[in-house]
Amino acid sequence: MRHVFPCGMPALDFVGTLQERRAPVPIERIGSPGLLDSWFVESGLLDERPGSDQTDLRAARDLREAIYALLSARLAVRPLPVAAVAAVNRQAAGVPVVMRLCPAGSSRSGAAAQALAELAREAVEIVAGGEAVLLRECGHPDCTHIYLDRSRGRRRQWCAMRTCGNRVKSAVLRARRRG
């Protein structure tokens, strides 16, 4: 499966693995241990599939929802939820991914728990860092991706122009032509 990475940071893209959160039936992009493994590799967190199991999948989904709760609180300028802070801190304290220098450059290896620890640490940096004020949610009505708006003028509206931006602009154009 090809996963999507419109947000530019693994922790933010990881939150986007549950798409259309406000829909009656959200779209789950890591519905199995195998899909979680492929996400880790495609995101660049690991070079090889770690062999995740159902426990890893539950931990990943729990972390994803904790990160989403923290990001949502930051977006709404609310206090951070205590349970989400504890969950992210617990994961962030884990063993990091192993990086090695090799003839081809570098390699990243580890278990699913190590990849989750990397995601949790990045989430801490985002939520607690100075760039938290740049957090935005995609302007497409069905999309719930959260990204950092580093654009000139801070006027970015979509997680990705090639997907959500094009859909919104096409819909506006179609409506204008009909009207």
Closest CA to 12 of 67, 75, 76, 89: 67
State residue 148 phi and psi, 5-degree precision.
Answer: -95, 125
Average pLDDT over residues 88-109: 96
> So what's the pLDDT on residue 158?
77
| Rounded Cα gap, residues 44 and 150, in angstroms | 22
pLDDT at 126 (0 to 100): 97
- Cα separation, 43 vs 5, whole angstroms: 7
Q: How far apart are CA 108 and CA 86, in angstroms?
A: 27
CB-based contact 30:39 (threshold 8 Å): yes
Residues 6+ apart with CB under 8 A from 61: 30
Mean pLDDT of 126-155: 89
- Residue that wins the pLDDT comparison between 165 and 118: 118
Domain boundaries, the chain: 10-136
- Are residues 113 and 52 in contact, defined by beta-carbon separation less than 8 angstroms? no
CA distance 85 to 100: 31
**Residue 120 and residue 64: Cα distance in Å, rounded?**
9
What pLDDT does residue 76 have? 95
Per the model's pLDDT, the better-predicted residue between 23 and 162 turns out to be 23
Instruction: Give the residue, 28 or 177, on which the prediction is more confident.
Output: 28
Residues 113/141, Cβ–Cβ less than 8 Å: no
What phi and psi values does residue 24 have, to the nearest 5 degrees? Answer: -55, -35
Take residue 12 and report the two structure tokens written for it. 């933010």
CB 147 within 8 A of CB 10: no
Q: What phi and psi values does residue 19 have, to the nearest 5 degrees? A: -95, 155
